[in-house]
Amino acid sequence: MKFQKPSKELERWREAVRGLGSIISHQKNGIQIHHPIGRTAKVKGVGNVGHFFILPLTHWEHTYIHQGKFGLDVLRHDWLAFNNDKHDDEMQKFTRLDLEKFLFARVCNKLDCPSPEAVTAIMDYRK
* Tens digits of residue pLDDT in 32-72: 999 999 888 888 878 888 889 999 999 999 999 999 999 99
Which of these, 53, 59, 68, 63, lies nearest to 10 by C-alpha position?
53
Q: Which amino acid is at 8?
A: K
CATH of domain 8-124: 3.30.40
DSSP states along 3-55: --PPPHHHHHHHHHHHHT--TTT---SS-EEE-TT-TT-EETTTEE-TTTS-E
Structural domain boundaries in the chain: 8-124
Which range is least confidently modeled, 27-36, 56-65, 107-116?
Answer: 107-116
Does 115 have pLDDT greater than 90? no
Q: CA torsion 32→102→6→41, rounded to 10°? A: 110
Task: Identify the pLDDT of residue 118.
Answer: 86
Confidence of residue 3 (pLDDT cuts 50, 70, 90): low
Q: Is the pLDDT of residue 10 over 90?
A: no
Its pTM stands at 0.90
